[in-house]
Chains A and B, each alone.
Chain A
Amino acid sequence: MTALVLLDHEGGQIRKAALSAVTAAARLGDVHVLVTGDAALAQAASQIAGVSKVLHAADARYAHELAEPLAALLVSLAGSYDHIVAAAGATGKNVLPRAAALLDVQPIPDVVSIVDAQTFVRPIYAGNALATVRSSDAKKVLTVRSASFDAAPAEGGSAPIEAVAVVDSPDVSRFEAVQLSDSARPDLESARVVVSGGRGMGSEEKFHALDPLADALGAAVGASRAAVDSGFVPNELQVGQTGKIVAPELYMAFGISGAIQHLAGMKDSRVIVAVNKDPEAPIFQVADYGIVGDLFEVVPQLVEELKK
């Protein structure tokens, strides 16, 4: 059996989450990957360990991973594959369901575990239940959670690169612009340590109180929905049911109450720390270590302690 992985990229780099999709696909069979954009991306794809063929769609219409042309391209390639896989990120979730509909397949989103070639485990109800589902479709279309599969090594492979031709698709969409946050910090979804702030951070300015701590730990910064909605930080930092799903070695929550929608995005972290001035905050029910106190006092103290 052979699986085709759509490798998504952002800012000229293959997303780390896509490497987890390669690992998941390798459990299902031989792995081919489809990548759009320039030749450098195809080169990078060919070096991923475990990939046996790279399909490169170099045409400009695919460069921004617009769903309409890319889903049509996937459909044209699907004949040779049993599984079509992508990371459960913005691109995978935008493109794969469209391709699945065109293939008359019910997609299986957010896979966290593979039981066999047609049986998969996925969380429902904000991760409050795990459903094991078996697909009766001839082809399986799935997105996988990067937090649940290790990333395939970015180097070590030497797969051949094959150019793929353009296919017709409805000319109904146009890419206009993109604004990417140019953070020097590690990627939220793959960071070893995540430092997150909630409504308790108080303002955009005061949110920066977390910066020295994130610097000291080499951590990515995350946030609750309330912090994003209040304009403290941009949307791409939201952790939770409807934001990013993370499972770092260490997750530190400051001024976050612990609503189920937030827990859905971080409760698989190995160690959870919570700092909250309310001793009854539900976040303490999932925290390995908690401090009841004012985060604006605790954070600078932590930074001092880490220097020792």
Chain B
Amino acid sequence: MKILVPVKRVVDYNIKPRVKADGSGVETAGVKMSMNPFDEIAVEEAVRLREKGAASEVVVVSIGVQQAQDTLRTAMAMGADRAILVLTDESPEPLAVAKVLKTLVEKEGPSLVVLGKQAIDDDMNATGQMLAGLLGWGQGTFASKVDVVDGRVNVSREIDGGTEQVSLALPAIITADLRLNEPRYASLPNIMKAKKKPLETIPAADLGVDMAPRLTIVSVAEPAERKAGIKVGSAAELVEKLRNEAKVI
């Protein structure tokens, strides 16, 4: 069984994003970029499934600029076997990403595609669900536990009021939530080894997919800043302020 894991290069989660002065987007030039944290969890899960013998190969794919190669090398240092970069200068929307991934799924024939539940830059939380729809596959989103048994995959999902279990026929889509696992750090020898693993580059145009965006960005603005308030000296003073000044209790 083959597993495909799409990984996205995003602004590192430790960086406070800054809106560009002209309001056209968020500044990404010269900013530290890393693998989307949810995608690290997805890669880890796929590698663990292979280590357990439930899968034979883990293929990682990124759709993006040339530098997304670094993200793919990181995934291979974590244990993925090979990588595909679909090269584009655009920032494709989830619909376009899902269409590109569909063509790769048709080519590679994985039994499982494990994605992150959301990318922390655009926070869309959509790509996995959209790919599942396009393929007509089952979807186990926001997964906190994954078991592959007898041609099915059983998934525990984090939902609004608790946890839910669903069972899906393979092939299927999984999207990883925070509690699925704790991703490993890539060791130096594995980082070296990853440099020799195969990385194929495909120009997005060669896939014949309509990637035209459907959303136009009218503007990107900073939200209203909250100002720091005051420090109070005691619980009594706090309750007094909440009652008489803020009038919230």
Q: Which residues of A contact B (CB under 8 A)?
A: 10-11, 15, 17, 64, 66-68, 71, 89-91, 93-102, 104-110, 119, 123-137, 170-181, 189, 193, 217, 225, 228-229, 234-236, 241-242, 244, 249-250, 260-261, 267, 270-273, 279, 284-292, 298, 301-302, 304-306, 308
Contact = CB atoms under 8 A, between A and B. Distances in A.
Contact of B163 (A134, A174, A179): A179
9 contacts: A119-B218, A124-B121, A125-B17, A129-B19, A130-B223, A134-B215, A229-B179, A287-B228, A308-B239
Nearest to B229: A288
Contact of A128 (B16, B158, B163, B172): B16
B133 A98 contact: yes
Contact of A249 (B137, B158, B236, B248): B248
A102 to B, nearest CB: 5
B168 A135 contact: no
Given A101-B134, A291-B235, A178 B163 contact: yes
Which of B11, B95, B217 has most A Cβ within 10 Å?
B95
Contacts of A193: 248-249
Interface string B146-180: 00000000100111111111111100100001110
A236 B19 CA distance: 31
B139 to A, nearest CB: 5
Interface of B: 11, 13, 16-19, 26, 38, 93-95, 98, 117-118, 120-127, 129-134, 136-139, 141-142, 144, 154, 157-169, 172, 177-179, 213-223, 226, 228-236, 238-239, 241-242, 246, 248-249
A286 B160 CA distance: 26
Contacts of A308: 239
Which of A11, A106, A180, A260 has most B Cβ within 10 Å?
A106
Contact of B248 (A179, A241, A244, A250): A250
A301 B234 contact: yes
Given A66-B166, A105-B214, A288-B229, A99 B26 contact: no
Contacts of B165: 175-178
Going nearest first, the 7 A-B pairs with the smallest beta carbon separation are: A301-B235, A101-B130, A288-B229, A172-B138, A101-B133, A106-B214, A97-B129
A298 B79 CA distance: 47
B220 A130 contact: yes
Nearest to B10: A125
Nearest to A112: B223
A132 B218 contact: yes
B214 A136 contact: yes
A10 B161 contact: yes
A193 B218 CA distance: 35
Contacts of B158: 90, 235-236
B218 A98 contact: no
A104 B17 CA distance: 31
Nearest to A300: B235
A136 B217 CA distance: 11
